[in-house]
Amino acid sequence: MVKILALASLAFTQTAMADVNAYQQAATQFCNKVKMCITEEVKKETGGEVPAQMKAIIDSMTSKMCEQYIPEQIMGDPSQYAEMIEAGTQCLEDLAAVPCEQMSRADEPASCKEAQSVADKLGLDTST
């Protein structure tokens, strides 16, 4: 019986880690999209290439923004936050699918409202 429980626990942990990996991939995809959209906008405004100093600012800004998408609580015990990880993954995937032209004015996807609801239920601080 103990062996079965240990195997079940291991399988659940592996599933939770696979979900975390999917979440991290979605977060990376969204962050790359934001960076690309900002870069495209700067290119339009400058009429060509993005100056090196501006590239550094964009990189720094998007890196800081992207750090908020991997809360330490989720990474510490992913099995406890399975619902949040699933909802967050869907939200980030939906956000990454928004065209750059619509990103600043697009309505928040329903999946993101759901993720916020789950986060609130779990007491996760998403105000950053």
* Single pTM value for the model: 0.76
- Looking at every residue in the chain, the average pLDDT score rounds to 77
- CA–CA–CA angle 83, 85, 90 (5° rounding): 100
**Angstrom distance (rounded) from CA 52 to CA 55:** 5
Return the higher-pLDDT residue of 7 and 79.
79
In a domain, 128, yes or no: no
Is 25 within a domain?
yes
Is 50 exceeded by the pLDDT of residue 34? yes
Res 94 pLDDT > 90: yes
pLDDT at 8 over 70: no
Residue 16: what pLDDT? 53
Range of 25's domain? 2-122
Model confidence at 119: pLDDT above 70: yes
Q: Does a structural domain hold residue 101?
A: yes
pLDDT of residue 75: 61
Domain assignment of residue 51, yes or no:
yes
Q: Is the pLDDT of residue 2 over 60?
A: no
Count of H-run helices and E-run strands, the chain: 6, 0
Confidence of residue 4 (pLDDT cuts 50, 70, 90): very low
Q: Which residue has the higher pLDDT, 106 or 62?
A: 62
